[in-house]
Amino acid sequence: MHVQDVTRNDILKLLGAGREEDANQKTINRRAMVLLVALRNAGATIKLQKGDWPKTVDNDVDVCSQDEIKAFFDVCAAEEKLLFQVYLATGFRFREVNTLTWDRVDFRRNVLWVKPDVIYGFKPKNHEVRSVKVPSSLIESLKQRQKSSKTRLVFPTRPHPKRPSYGGDQPDAHHLELCKEVAFRAELNCGHCKSTKGKCATTANCERWYLHRWRDSFATNLLRSGVDIKTLQTLLGHKKLSTTEKYLAALRMDELDDKVEGYSRSISTAAKCGSRNSRRYSSPRVNVEASGRAARASLYDSENHLVSMNGGVVTLLYDGNGTLQYDSLHRMTSMTASNTAYS
Ligand SMILES: [Zn+2]
């Protein structure tokens, strides 16, 4: 193919292939951009149209709640359950699960491996070989599955009802579709998405359900249970620590929401008392000062982390070393509503 023959369609195909791979959208866009620049330098005249570039989202961490996970697994067939349990227990990326072979399962040490595979042309991202320890119950389920398996792959393409030559020893490319299908079956769609494939209220097409969500849930659960950020970086196979840190930021926002909830309750109690003076509460410790139309408040949790609030803006400050560290800003409209109770 000559440079002049490359069209907009080819670039769109490249963008689509990246999504199939479940790569990060920024990575996909960067890849397409580099190619586009190179082609234009070589004399090609490819014009992309408005909306061709998929949007990228920063710090997009959406974790499955325990209720969602339960509802999801409740409607799964045994094979589906095992597949998504592997996603949740390993935090593996799509290609890492779909090219997973039996020799990557260490039944003795309860470990699953990510390693290159020549046959399926799989190379780990950043060339990182890594392993993740999984629950023994999952290893037991995998052991049972291996007994009836006829391929190297743990999750091969499922046989086609009418085409005997289809499937067999090929990696299953349809995990994303399956994930959306199960979520729809479990009535877990958000009900608000609209796309060319239809509304998610009536089709298996909810944007909230994508494979990376299992990875996000895996990472957040580990952080919650006290795993340190360096270990998590190794488990996720991230090249840069900054990539892993987005989970830390998301977790803090999550905890902040909990604190704000507790704070709002304290505020409404104070408002009901009709007090205009300083008040102190225990657990969580809150100091409220009200004068005129303004309310200032400070909330400390049991570890003496300070959440200070002022005028509807919440600042989370960690003072573990005696130094206050600016963390994040969060607009709280409900706070403003609470404040008016003082005027
Ligand atoms: Zn939706």
Give CATH superfamily name and number for 66-238.
Intergrase catalytic core (1.10.443.10)
Report the separation in Å between the CA atom of 143 and the middle of ligand 1, taken as the mean of its atom positions: 35
Q: What is the pLDDT of residue 260?
A: 63
| Choice between 299 and 122, residue whose per-residue pLDDT is larger | 122
Report the separation in Å between the CA atom of 140 and the middle of ligand 1, taken as the mean of its atom positions: 34
**Ion ligand 1 residues within 5 Å by Cβ:** 189-190, 193, 200, 206
Q: What is the pLDDT of residue 17?
A: 79
Report the separation in Å between the CA atom of 201 and the middle of ligand 1, taken as the mean of its atom positions: 7
Report the separation in Å between the CA atom of 206 and the middle of ligand 1, taken as the mean of its atom positions: 4
DSSP type of residue 147: H
Q: Are 307 and 260 in contact (CB under 8 A)?
A: yes
Supply the Cα-derived Rg of the chain in whole angstroms: 25
Cβ-based neighbours of 144, under 8 Å, separated by 6 or more: none
Report the separation in Å between the CA atom of 183 and the middle of ligand 1, taken as the mean of its atom positions: 10
85 vs 87: CA distance, rounded Å: 5
pLDDT score of 295 more than 80? no
pLDDT score of 277 more than 50? no
Tell me the domain boundaries of the chain: 1-56, 66-238, 248-342
Give me the mean pLDDT over the 131-146 stretch.
95
Instruction: Give the confidence band of 261 by pLDDT, cuts at 50, 70, 90.
Output: low
Instruction: Give the confidence band of 22 by pLDDT, cuts at 50, 70, 90.
Output: low
**Identity (one letter) of the amino acid at 177?**
E
Report the separation in Å between the CA atom of 162 and the middle of ligand 1, taken as the mean of its atom positions: 32
Q: What is the pLDDT of residue 11?
A: 82
pLDDT score of 89 more than 50? yes
The per-residue pLDDT of the chain, averaged, comes to 75
Judged by DSSP in three states, 159 sits in: coil
Question: Is pTM beyond 0.95 here?
Answer: no
pLDDT score of 280 more than 80? no
